[in-house]
Structure 1
Amino acid sequence: MRARRAGFVAALLLSACTEGTHPPKGSDDPGVVAPVAPTDVLGEGTEVARPPSAEDEVEVEIPRPMGHAEVVGLASRGLSDVSQVDVDLTVSGVSGKRTVEVEFVSPEGHPYQRRSSVVVAKPDATRTLRFSMPVAGTTVATSIMSGTWNVRFFLDGAPLTTASFTLEP
């Protein structure tokens, strides 16, 4: 019985509500609602709020990933004297977690070795990764794979930069 009485009281109160039934100032029709002009409720000025125009939009430039590769520590170029070849890759404009791949290409133009590494950076940071290719005791030395080698770098599968070095017999 109490629930029924509470429901009746709620219905009675809602039916007595007059919100939206009074006509706005200057109108005789109770069904017409006059629009309210947008205002700057958070600011201190009396400006009317408006959506941003194309002139107001600021263009944010997203840096394009860049890479620079450099062969380091290759004082001797003779196959019998080189234990490994180190190549430093410096990347910038990399955002988030990305995959860097390196491919060492033999003087004959065939891929010899391919590896990958993950780099995590902010767009404004610069990171340097070192990749090494063993020479001493490998097929490079025993098969006398002398000549100019190319090193290709990829960022998430897209070409990034290259470097080269020469190994003499």
Structure 2
Amino acid sequence: MRARIAGFSAAALLLAACTEGGVAPKVSDWTDAPSREVPPVSPTDVLGEEDVAARPPAAEVPVVGEPMPAPLTGHAEVVETGSRGLSDVSQVDVDLTLTGVRGKGTVEVEFVSPTGHPYERRTSVVVGKPEVPRTLRFSLPVAGTTVATSAMSGTWQVRFLFDGAPLTTAAFTLEP
């Protein structure tokens, strides 16, 4: 067994000392490469065979010195109506204020019952400019619905998504 280990060690040592053409290979990293300018190639037209009209529009690149546009943010707030009893509330309104909307997007709202199960989901398309805040109102009907007839009292969650990505949440409580 010792002879076998010694043989493997000797072979490894011999291979480590190998050279090609009498010159030991040089170990280098990427900083040793000479610097030269290479023109960028369009990622959609590597072979140069694509029609210019078929190319996607160029991404917006901020000009040097200009501030970056604000990221998309959302703030949800339950509109207070005073009473929160199931027999007194006709609906619960939730306002979603969006800032930083660029162009067109889809807002989804999901009302989650106190048991943790999704109760109702709706979508709305929003069009906006990054510098102009947008406010959307979503309402959950209570009077005359399953919420009231099944006595679905407790704390409800409201989840908002923008183009499928989680945005913000809110909560409200309906008392028995």
Q: TM-score range by the shorter chain?
A: 0.5 to 0.7
CA distance in 2, matches of 1:75, 1:124: 33
- Which residue does the alignment assign to 1:79? 86
Query: Residues 81, 62 of structure 1: CA spacing in aligned structure 2 closer, same or farther, 3 A cutoff?
Result: same
Shift of 1:59: 6.2
CA distance in 2, matches of 1:115, 1:167: 21
- The amino acid across from 1:67 in the alignment is G
- Which residue does the alignment assign to 1:114? 121
- The amino acid across from 1:148 in the alignment is T
Q: Deviations over 1:98-144 (max 9, x none)?
A: 11010000000000000011111001110000000000000000000
- Which residue does the alignment assign to 1:5? none
Q: Deviations over 1:143-164 (max 9, x none)?
A: 0000000000000010110000
- Which residue does the alignment assign to 1:96? 103
- Which residue does the alignment assign to 1:28? none
- Which residue does the alignment assign to 2:150? 143
Q: Indicate the RMSD between aligned Cα atoms, in angstroms.
A: 1.4
TM-score by structure 2 length? Answer: 0.62
CA distance in 2, matches of 1:66, 1:82: 30
CA distance in 1, matches of 2:175, 2:155: 9
Following TM superposition, the consecutive aligned residue runs of length 4 or more in structure 1 with deviations greater than 3 angstroms are 56-60
Say if 2:137 is the partner of 1:134: no
Identical-residue share of aligned pairs (%): 74
CA distance in 2, matches of 1:134, 1:57: 50
CA distance in 2, matches of 1:94, 1:148: 30
Which has the higher Rg, Structure 1 or Structure 2?
1
CA distance in 2, matches of 1:80, 1:158: 35
Task: Flag structure 1 segments of 5+ consecutive residues without an equivalent.
Answer: 1-55
